[in-house]
Amino acid sequence: MGFSRVKEQKSLRMDPYLLIGKGGPELVGKNYALLSQASEAFEAMATEAKKEGILLKIVSSYRSYERQKSIWNSKFSNFKSQGMSDRKAIEKIIEYSTLPGTSRHHWGTDIDLIDASQPAEGDVLVPQKFHQDGPYVQLRKWMDKHAESFGFYLPYTDDPSRRGFKYEPWHYSFAPLSKPMLKDYLNLNHAQWILSEDLEGSEVVGKEFLESYLETHVKGINPTLL
**Contacts to Zn ion by CB under 5 A:** 112, 171
Q: Shortest gap between Cβ of 186 and Zn ion (angstroms)?
A: 19
Q: d(Cα 202, Cα 191) in Å, to the nearest integer?
A: 12
Q: Shortest gap between Cβ of 104 and Zn ion (angstroms)?
A: 7
Nearer to Zn ion, 171 or 179 (CB): 171
Residue with nearest beta carbon to Zn ion: 171
Please count the other Cβ atoms lying within 10 Å of the Cβ belonging to residue 124: 18
Q: d(Cα 14, Cα 180) in Å, to the nearest integer?
A: 9
Question: Which DSSP state fits 130?
Answer: G
Q: d(Cα 176, Cα 178) in Å, to the nearest integer?
A: 6
Nearer to Zn ion, 86 or 216 (CB): 216
Nearer to Zn ion, 86 or 97 (CB): 97
SS3 letters across 73-99: HHHHHHHHHCCCCHHHHHHHHCCCCCC
Nearer to Zn ion, 84 or 225 (CB): 225
Q: Shortest gap between Cβ of 55 and Zn ion (angstroms)?
A: 19
Q: Shortest gap between Cβ of 85 and Zn ion (angstroms)?
A: 27
Please count the other Cβ atoms lying within 10 Å of the Cβ belonging to residue 131: 14
Q: Shortest gap between Cβ of 112 and Zn ion (angstroms)?
A: 4
Nearer to Zn ion, 112 or 200 (CB): 112
